[in-house]
């Protein structure tokens, strides 16, 4: 992995990406939606920058091939709080 594997995206785009992923099989139950807000969306709001791991291609697949229907890796940088957050959204 190198920094070039990540694309800088805005908070709004990251929010849409994660919401679409979470809702891909139907509405998100209220307790899960609250946990996502608390653990994910609150971190997005305070992030100075958000970086999305670009598609790596088939050469980078796990030995089991594509075991995820969808996979997203986001890196959030919050300079004021001195935090680097790694978010992984996968449906395995």
Tens-digit pLDDT profile for residues 8-60? 999 999 999 999 999 999 999 999 999 999 999 999 999 999 999 986 655 55
Q: How many domains does the chain divide into?
A: 1
| Domain limits for position 85 | 3-90
pLDDT of 54: 84
**Which among 86, 92, 89, 90 has a CA at the least distance from the CA of 1?**
86
DSSP run (H or E) holding 53: strand 49-53
Look up residue 29 and give its two tokens: 């139950």
Which neighbouring-strand residues pair with 55? none
More confident of the two residues 71 and 61: 71
CA-to-CA distance for 83 and 24, rounded, in angstroms? 29
Q: Are 51 and 8 in contact (CB under 8 A)?
A: yes
Tokens 């969808």 found at: 70
């Amino acid at each position: 992995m190198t920094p070039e594997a990540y694309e800088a995206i805005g908070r709004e785009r990251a929010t849409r990406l994660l919401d679409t992923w979470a809702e891909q099989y139907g509405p998100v139950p209220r307790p899960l939606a609250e946990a996502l807000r608390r653990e994910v969306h609150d971190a997005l709001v305070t992030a100075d920058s958000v970086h999305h791991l670009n598609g790596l291609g088939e050469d980078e697949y796990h030995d089991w091939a594509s075991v995820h229907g969808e996979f997203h890796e986001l890196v959030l940088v919050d300079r004021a709080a001195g935090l680097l957050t790694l978010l992984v959204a996968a449906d395995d």
